[in-house]
């Protein structure tokens, strides 16, 4: 999370020079202006000896309250800073924001570390870890606020080093017994359609024709014929079929049904609605068909090259179009491309969002300077971004993001996709929701057509599982070049607070959260510790549906909340028993796999150039956007190849990991973590990591994690080498076992180690590893 540049207000401060302390650790004297520069009217020494912050009278959205004096942080040195603070009163969407930034910088471009602090009442200690770049002596630890609040800061401690215990992998260590190892997903079968003596129908018999401008009605008639019992399936004579109706092609309520595309391509051009919808089907097979968007008339994204840039505008040339076909284009965002791969994800990437959600401000002003040259006018808030761009830089410009999904699935059972190629769509490629269970992708790809130069496939997730009842398999698939995670598997949750003795009021239950009277609800405390309470939902009523506010009534008294409220687990759903095998995930935005479930096996896959990391195992909630996951348990990650994972170097505070285990609390991302092991029983073995920019794994809010038999190598230099390259990081965790791994010696990875936070970890073991 970064400050919007337009909202950052630089207030007058009392600047006092000071000298670098002799030692490597010092506690900032909060009342000493030589150590801490305070903004008059917003921060002052408190009578208790701490620091009092009060921005309730400030009209600014962002306020700088306090900064360590310039010159105290030595260039080229690694530090950790611990800030102990408490929010005592806060307005809507207000929070503390801790960060490390050049003293006089007015934006977030040079930030080394940052953390929002949300929620009032409890004192928290937040740690920022960072390395000051060589030649930069102006960095400072800073305390900002967003909007109006009152808070206390009781301590700021800065020390050299990461503050962690370091266990070099070259040390022999002391062997210990491993816990029972996870087994991953069980064997399960997906039932095929039952054989029928009847012949399938042809969509041609209902008027479908490659020459037709819109085949929607013909396909609808053919599907209705099958639903009425007229045929056990449909075949599509080989060809390209176009669809322009806003209603999706809807396969609903079909049993023992086969859709055979016979190599055909379905091409869509529309303004709203899913492309295909599959709902309430039993034992259904979809095979040998391609699904695509009409790029000639409406490209989903474009490769653009910066021709000129400055604080006021960017001039961007569309390199694949002599004349761009839509003169009313939408600029959702632009992300810098890696010139070697022409995909997103490169070190030091410049990325910026504009009209991310259609029609929502700020909608940028654009001006065509030629058939293929667009001027993007920048607001003052975006001006710094413009000054960072160099002529010749390549970007991917998205024109769609979360708009229209390719294939939407709900409440199906025993559903198979075989040989299906989803080449592009203006949203998620595949979406699963509701009571769906037992479905599989076999040789089913999200990939551009062979020989194509298109910069994107789907504009959001490749497969987004919002909730399900589990049992999903994908084998031999390629997911690539999409606008978000390749596979995002979770169950949606929500945060709620007691409204009366038997009623909870939710804060962000989007769309009602698929809650129904009678659903079994389990409550977790705000750190995911069990509340020891579950009950069927008696009733649900909307208070403010647009804001996700609902009242949930129960037939028994609620338990006591130990924190801000409760996280709701709806045990009607539970995404588990997932197998991902022999797949290729590459060159996408965000992560390869986002795993928020249990009983999963991920084996023999290849992960290449996934922008923000290969695998993220997490659970979390926020007060204003998404809340996802019931935790993760019994996961096996085995025999995979990870090549250039996380090329952008995301999550620097967690050592830029290839595999990241963590939680987010109140905001995403968040520096708040939980000691409760909501992630547990995870085996990472027999994998090969090549050119990870930082740690191969970071383990947080977890227990019983075994990392064994992996091989790690660093072959390619980076512009900004991390001192933690090839390491394993641990915090807020217990029972972490690192053994039998091999690091191939490299000057790019001189001293790999296991590093753990002594204040939040226990039983971290490293032994029998090899550095050769």
DSSP 370-400: SSSEEEEEPPGGGHHHHHH--TT-EEEEES-
pLDDT-derived band at 455, boundaries 50, 70, 90:
very high
pLDDT-derived band at 406, boundaries 50, 70, 90:
very high
> Is pLDDT at 3 greater than 80 in this prediction?
no
Q: Where are the beta strands (DSSP E) in 571-696?
A: 576-581, 584-586, 593-595, 598-603, 606-608, 615-622, 632-638, 641-643, 659-666, 679-685, 688-690
Residue 569: how many other CB atoms lie within 10 Å: 22
* pLDDT tens-digit map of 667-680: 898 888 999 999 99
Q: Is 584 left (phi over 0), alpha (psi -120 to 50) or beta?
A: beta
Pairwise CA distance, residues 187 & 184, whole Å: 10
Pairwise CA distance, residues 671 & 673, whole Å: 6
Beta strands 282-293 and 301-309 are unpaired
Q: Enumerate the β-bridge partners of residue 524.
A: 530, 567
Task: Please name which of 769, 764, 767 lies closest in space to residue 698, comparing C-alpha atoms.
Answer: 764
Hey, what are 107's tokens?
């934006």
Beta strands 201-202 and 276-279 are unpaired
CA dihedral 322, 325, 327, 332 (to 10 degrees): -100
Hey, what are 305's tokens?
């090259």
Residue with tokens 């008294």: 557
DSSP H/E element including 411: none
**Per-residue pLDDT at 105:** 87
Going from the C-alpha of 12 to that of each of 42, 54, 109, the distances in angstroms are: 11, 16, 21
Percent above pLDDT 70 for the chain: 96
Span of 95-109, 319-333, 448-462, 545-559 with lowest mean pLDDT: 95-109
* pLDDT tens-digit map of 331-380: 999 999 999 999 999 999 999 999 999 988 778 899 999 999 999 999 98
Going from the C-alpha of 591 to that of each of 470, 611, 614, 662, the distances in angstroms are: 21, 6, 5, 14
Triad 466, 468, 470: Cα angle to 5°: 130
Read off the pTM: 0.92
**Per-residue pLDDT at 18:** 24
- Give the CA diameter of the chain: 89
CA 288 to chain centre: 31
Task: Please name which of 461, 359, 343 lies closest in space to residue 394, comparing C-alpha atoms.
Answer: 343
Pairwise CA distance, residues 474 & 481, whole Å: 18
What letter does residue 452 receive in the DSSP assignment? Answer: -
Going from the C-alpha of 191 to that of each of 263, 276, 333, the distances in angstroms are: 23, 22, 42
Pairwise CA distance, residues 461 & 482, whole Å: 7
Pairwise CA distance, residues 676 & 698, whole Å: 16
Going from the C-alpha of 133 to that of each of 36, 102, 369, 663, 692, the distances in angstroms are: 21, 11, 40, 29, 20
Pairwise CA distance, residues 392 & 316, whole Å: 10
* pLDDT tens-digit map of 517-562: 999 999 999 999 999 999 999 999 999 998 899 999 999 999 999 9
Instruction: Kindly calculate the radius of gyration of the chain based on its CA atoms and give it in whole angstroms.
Output: 27
SS3 state of residue 442? strand
Cis peptide bond upstream of 362, omega within 30: yes
> Is pLDDT at 718 greater than 50 in this prediction?
yes
Beta strands 413-422 and 445-446 are parallel
* Contact of 625 with 586, CB cutoff 8 Å: no
DSSP H/E element including 107: none
Task: Compute φ and ψ for 218, nearest 5 degrees.
Answer: -65, -45
Residue with tokens 């995930």: 585
Task: Please name which of 150, 715, 191 lies closest in space to residue 413, comparing C-alpha atoms.
Answer: 191
**Comparing 652 with 529, which gets the higher pLDDT?**
529
Task: Please name which of 97, 91, 93 lies closest in space to residue 111, comparing C-alpha atoms.
Answer: 97
Q: Work out the average pLDDT over 211-225.
A: 98
- In 666-677, which positions are buried (b, 16+ CB within 10 angstroms) versus exposed (e)? bbbbbbbbbbbb
Contacts of 500 (CB under 8 A, 6+ apart): none
pLDDT-derived band at 501, boundaries 50, 70, 90:
very high
Pairwise CA distance, residues 742 & 724, whole Å: 16
Beta strands 51-54 and 43-45 are antiparallel
CA 664 to chain centre: 11
Q: Work out the average pLDDT over 427-433.
A: 98
Residue with tokens 């303004």: 271
Going from the C-alpha of 168 to that of each of 80, 165, 476, 736, the distances in angstroms are: 20, 10, 38, 15
Task: Please name which of 83, 66, 84 lies closest in space to residue 123, comparing C-alpha atoms.
Answer: 84
Q: Work out the average pLDDT over 176-203.
A: 98
> Is pLDDT at 484 greater than 90 in this prediction?
yes
Average pLDDT, the chain: 93
Span of 27-36, 289-298, 517-526, 669-678 with lowest mean pLDDT: 27-36
Task: Compute φ and ψ for 265, nearest 5 degrees.
Answer: -120, 130
Q: Where are the beta strands (DSSP E) in 205-254?
A: 233-235, 240-243, 249-252
Going from the C-alpha of 200 to that of each of 155, 168, 258, 261, the distances in angstroms are: 74, 64, 8, 12
Q: Work out the average pLDDT over 463-470.
A: 98
pLDDT-derived band at 17, boundaries 50, 70, 90:
very low
Pairwise CA distance, residues 123 & 152, whole Å: 9
Burial class (CB in 10 A: 0-12, 13-18, 19+), 625: exposed
Pairwise CA distance, residues 232 & 250, whole Å: 16
Contacts of 370 (CB under 8 A, 6+ apart): none
* Contact of 495 with 566, CB cutoff 8 Å: yes
Cis peptide bond upstream of 300, omega within 30: no
pLDDT-derived band at 26, boundaries 50, 70, 90:
low
Span of 158-162, 247-251, 453-457, 729-733 with lowest mean pLDDT: 158-162
Q: Measure the N-to-C terminal CA separation of the chain; round to a whole number of Å.
A: 40
Residue 663: how many other CB atoms lie within 10 Å: 26
Hey, what are 317's tokens?
């040339």
Residue with tokens 């049992």: 471
* Contact of 343 with 609, CB cutoff 8 Å: yes
* pLDDT tens-digit map of 47-83: 888 899 999 999 999 999 999 998 889 999 989 999 9
CA dihedral 737, 743, 749, 754 (to 10 degrees): 10
> Is pLDDT at 13 greater than 50 in this prediction?
no
Q: Enumerate the β-bridge partners of residue 301.
A: 398
Task: Please name which of 90, 99, 83 lies closest in space to residue 55, comparing C-alpha atoms.
Answer: 90
């Amino acid at each position: 999370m970064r400050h919007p540049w337009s909202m950052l207000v630089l207030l007058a401060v009392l600047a006092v020079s000071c000298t670098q302390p002799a030692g490597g650790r010092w506690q900032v004297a909060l009342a000493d202006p030589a150590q801490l520069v305070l903004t008059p009217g917003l921060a002052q020494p408190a009578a208790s000896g701490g620091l009092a912050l009060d921005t309730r009278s400030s009209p600014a959205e962002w306020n700088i309250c306090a900064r360590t004096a310039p010159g105290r942080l030595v260039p080229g040195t690694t530090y950790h800073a611990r800030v102990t603070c408490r929010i005592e009163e806060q307005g809507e969407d207000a929070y503390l924001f801790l960060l490390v930034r050049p003293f006089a910088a007015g934006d977030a471009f040079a930030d080394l570390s940052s953390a929002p602090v949300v929620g009032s009442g409890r004192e928290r200690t937040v740690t920022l870890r960072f390395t000051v770049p060589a030649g930069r002596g102006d960095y400072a630890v800073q305390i900002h606020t967003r909007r109006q609040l009152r808070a206390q800061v009781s301590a700021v401690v800065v020390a050299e080093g990461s503050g962690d215990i370091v266990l070099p992998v070259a040390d022999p260590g002391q062997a210990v017994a491993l816990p029972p190892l996870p087994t991953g997903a069980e064997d399960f079968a997906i039932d095929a359609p039952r054989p029928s003596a009847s012949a399938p129908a042809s969509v041609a018999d209902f008027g479908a024709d490659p020459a037709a401008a819109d085949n929607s009605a013909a396909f609808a008639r053919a599907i209705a014929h099958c639903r009425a019992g007229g045929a056990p399936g449909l075949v599509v004579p080989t060809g390209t079929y176009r669809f322009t109706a806003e209603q999706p092609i809807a396969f609903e309520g079909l049993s023992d049904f086969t859709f055979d595309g016979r190599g055909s391509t379905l091409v869509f051009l529309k303004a709203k609605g899913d492309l295909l919808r599959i709902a309430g089907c039993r034992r259904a097979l979809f095979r040998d068909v391609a699904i695509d968007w009409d790029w000639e008339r409406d490209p989903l994204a474009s490769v653009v090259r910066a021709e000129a840039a400055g604080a006021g505008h960017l001039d961007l040339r569309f390199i694949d179009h002599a004349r761009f076909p839509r003169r009313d284009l939408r600029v959702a965002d632009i992300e810098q491309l890696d010139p070697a791969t022409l995909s997103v994800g490169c070190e030091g990437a410049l990325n910026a969002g504009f009209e991310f959600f259609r029609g929502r401000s700020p909608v940028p002003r654009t001006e065509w300077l030629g058939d293929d040259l667009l001027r993007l006018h920048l607001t003052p808030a975006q001006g710094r971004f413009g000054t960072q761009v160099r002529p010749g830089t390549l970007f991917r410009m998205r024109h769609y993001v979360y708009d229209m999904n390719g294939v939407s699935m709900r409440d199906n059972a025993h559903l198979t996709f075989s040989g299906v190629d989803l080449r592009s769509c203006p949203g998620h490629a595949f979406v699963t929701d509701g009571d769906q269970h037992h479905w599989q992708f076999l040789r089913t790809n999200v990939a551009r057509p062979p020989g194509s130069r298109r910069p994107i496939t789907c504009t959001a997730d490749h497969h987004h599982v919002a909730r399900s009842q589990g049992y999903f398999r994908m084998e031999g698939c390629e997911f690539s070049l999409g606008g978000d995670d390749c596979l995002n598997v979770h169950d949606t949750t929500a945060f709620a607070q007691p409204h009366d003795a038997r009623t909870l009021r939710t804060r962000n239950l989007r769309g009602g959260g698929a809650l129904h009277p009678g659903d079994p609800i389990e409550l977790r405390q705000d750190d995911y510790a069990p509340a020891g309470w579950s009950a069927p939902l008696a009733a649900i009523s909307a208070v403010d549906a647009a804001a996700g506010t609902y009242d949930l009534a129960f037939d028994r008294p609620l338990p006591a909340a130990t924190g801000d409220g409760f996280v709701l687990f709806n045990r009607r759903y539970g995404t588990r028993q997932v197998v991902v095998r022999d797949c290729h995930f590459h060159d996408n935005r965000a992560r390869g796999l986002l795993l928020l479930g249990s009983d999963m096996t991920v084996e023999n896959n290849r992960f290449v150039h996934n922008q923000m990391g290969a695998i993220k195992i997490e659970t979390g909630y926020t007060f204003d956007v998404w809340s996802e996951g019931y935790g993760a348990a019994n996961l096996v990650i085995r025999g995979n190849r990870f090549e250039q994972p996380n090329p952008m170097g995301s999550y620097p505070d967690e050592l830029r990991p290839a595999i990241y285990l963590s939680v987010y609390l109140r905001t995403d991302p968040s520096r708040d973590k939980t000691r409760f092991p909501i992630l547990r029983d995870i085996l990472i073995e027999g994998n090969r990591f090549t050119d990870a920019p930082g740690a191969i794994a970071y383990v947080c809010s977890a227990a019983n994690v075994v990392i064994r038999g992996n091989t790690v190598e660093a072959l390619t230099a980076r512009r900004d080498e991390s001192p933690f390259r090839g390491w394993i990081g641990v915090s807020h965790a217990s029972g972490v076992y690192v053994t039998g791994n091999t690091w191939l010696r490299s000057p790019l990875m001189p001293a790999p180690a296991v590093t753990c936070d002594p204040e939040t970890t226990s039983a971290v073991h490293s032994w029998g590893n090899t550095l050769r």
